[in-house]
Structures are given as structure tokens and as C-alpha cells.
Structure 1
Amino acid sequence: MLDIQTKTFNQLNTKELYDLLQLRSEVFVVEQDCVYQDIDGKDQKALHILGYRGNKLVAYTRIFQPGDYFEEASIGRVVVKEKERQYGFGYDIMNASIEAIKKHFKTSEIRISAQTYLKKFYNNLGFKEVGEEYLEDGIPHVNMIKN
């Protein structure tokens, strides 16, 4: 079971910020062999959903209110540490993110830009594909909406 914490950018301490950037880099840059600018200037607007197992950050997302990223509320940078994926933490962190959007932004309409190979995972959470597949940083993605 994950210990989930929700924080604004200004509530993150230095260690938490370091850990979340390290986890994102570990998966999105190193594991996926994708050179891209992860630190994109949007973290300051996001709410950060941190998933801890013990005292180790193993899952993370960032969420945005409607209008800050997409017209709808959104969830991005969905990540689970590679060695922790067999425990269902992806569902735990996504369900916590969906609940945080309802609580903090008072909406249940959510748009994500999903890596195509994870469509089934997001379908299981109630997201449906909208539009065509596209490349983002060289990786196939698809827009998905949950109402």
C-alpha cells in the first residue's frame, strides 16, 4: 500500500523535489532512452501526487487544474519505479490523482496525453482515446479523456 501525499510546488522540500525529479529522469530519460526537457517550467503550477513505500518515493504524478495545461483538468508525468511495478502502484497513484482532481479542482473531466502502449491501463481507469496517435519526444502517444 502506498502512502500518498499531495503537495503544491512551494510545499515540496528540497529532498522531495530532488526525489521526484530523479524518479522522472530515471524512467522517462534513462529507461525509455528519450532525450527531452523534463524540467519544463510547469511544475510550479501543478499539484504533485507523491506515492511512498516506506520512506522511498516509488510512484508520482502531477495534476493541473482546467486551463493550466489542457482545457480540462489533467494528469501528467505518471511514473512508477521499475522495480515496484508488480504491486499495482500505477493504479494506486492514478486513483489518488483522479480523487485529488475532484477534491481540489471540483471536476471529474480529465484529459491525459498517454503513451500508446499504456492505453489498456488507462482504459481500465475509465479513460477513452480521442483523436489520432501522435509522436511526442519520439514516443507514440494518444489523447485520452475521462468524464
Structure 2
Amino acid sequence: MVKIYDYLCEDAKAIREKVFVAEQGFQNEFDEWDDKVMHAVLFLDGQAVGTGRLLPGQQQGSFVVGRIAVLQEYRGRHLGEQIMQALELEAVKAGGITISLSAQCQASGFYRTLGYVECGEPYLDEFCPHILMEKAL
């Protein structure tokens, strides 16, 4: 089950700290958007195991998905797909036409399976190669 919050709840924060900070070594994980945007948390058997957030884009009808994370022991079960679908649905409900994300290059294949297309060249976010990906809703 995916629950939608309009703030960064403790479950989402804990997952992001575990995946992005402890596991992957990012230092600038939390930002000014966290308390202003929608967050999705995926629960399995009552335990929070994955999260992501949805931000408004720079143009009307555009949205940005970010901070998609699934706890390591739950990966490979299509849970990230469920989080993405929930966030895309929220974007559509809000009048979304397009959606984009900054994918870690190692995860771009996952987003391609969901219909996202790479745009531009890879770039570094902190120390990690990323690429912009977009999809029409």
C-alpha cells in the first residue's frame, strides 16, 4: 500500500537516510522542498520500505519525481514501480502533462521500463553520475 503525505514524514526521512546517506554516501540529501511537496511511502506488512517525492516543475503541467528509494532488502520486487505509479497518478490528478526525474545512471534502465526517455548528457550530482529523463503523462 502506498500512502501519500503532504510533508516529509518520519518514515520517508528514515528510508532516505538509510539508502542515500548511509548506503550511497550522499551528504546533501534533504533540502528546502521536503516540507513543501508531496511524499509517497510504500508499506509492506505495516513496515515502510520505500519512498519518493513529487515536486512541481518549472512550467505549467510539469512535475518532477525525486528521491525514489527502496530499502535494500526489499529491492527486486517491483516496489519502486509501485511508488512511481502512485506519484505519477498524483501528478495527473494535479493536471500534469509531463513528468521528469534526475536518475542515477545506474538506475536509468529501471526508469526506461516505465516509459521515461533520457534527455541530454550525464552529469554529476555530488559524486554520482545522473541523467535527466522525461515522460509524457
TM-score when normalising by structure 1:
0.86
Is 1:67 aligned to 2:58, yes or no?
Answer: yes
> Quick one: which of 75, 86, 111 aligns to 1:96?
86
The alpha carbon displacement at 1:141 in A equals 0.1
Quick check: 1:63–1:76 contact (8 Å CA) kept in 2? yes
The alpha carbon displacement at 1:88 in A equals 1.0
Instruction: State the SS of the aligned residue for 1:73.
Output: strand
The alpha carbon displacement at 1:65 in A equals 2.1
Q: How far apart are the structure 2 equivalents of 1:39 and 1:86?
A: 26
TM-score when normalising by structure 2:
0.92
The alpha carbon displacement at 1:21 in A equals 1.1
Q: How far apart are the structure 1 equivalents of 2:121 and 2:30?
A: 26
**Sequence identity percentage:** 30
Structure 1 runs (4+) deviating above 3 angstroms are: none
Code of the residue aligned with 1:45 in structure 2: it is: K
The alpha carbon displacement at 1:24 in A equals 0.2
1:41-56 correspondence to structure 2 within 5 Å: 41-56=32-47
Instruction: State the SS of the aligned residue for 2:49.
Output: strand
* Higher strand content, 1 or 2: 2
Quick check: 1:98–1:108 contact (8 Å CA) kept in 2? no
* Higher helix content, 1 or 2: 1
Q: Structure 1: where are the runs of 5+ without partners?
A: none
> Quick one: which of 99, 116, 122 aligns to 1:110?
99
Quick check: 1:5–1:51 contact (8 Å CA) kept in 2? yes
> What corresponds to 2:12 in structure 1?
20
CA deviations over 1:21-43 (Å, ceiling 9, x no partner): 11101110111123x12221111
> What corresponds to 1:81 in structure 2?
71
Q: How far apart are the structure 1 equivalents of 2:53 and 2:31?
A: 12
Q: Give the count of matched residue pairs.
A: 135
Q: Structure 2: where are the runs of 5+ without partners?
A: none
